Amino acid sequence: MANKFTGINAAKRLEKAEAEPIIEKANNAPTNGTHAPKTVGRPKGKKSGGEYQQVTVYIQKHLLLKIKELFLEREQLSIGYNEIFLKKQDFSDFVNDALFYYRSQENQKINSFLEDRRQAELKANRDEKKSAHLKAKGK
Q: Which of 53, 63, 48 is nearest to 92 (CA)?
A: 53
pLDDT score for 121: 93
Q: Angle at CA 137, nearest 5°, toward 135 and 139?
A: 75
Burial class (CB in 10 A: 0-12, 13-18, 19+), 74: middle
Whether pTM > 0.85 for this model: the answer is no
Q: Are 78 and 72 in contact (CB under 8 A)?
A: no
Mean pLDDT per 10-residue segment, the chain (139 residues): 68 67 53 65 80 90 92 77 63 88 90 92 90 79
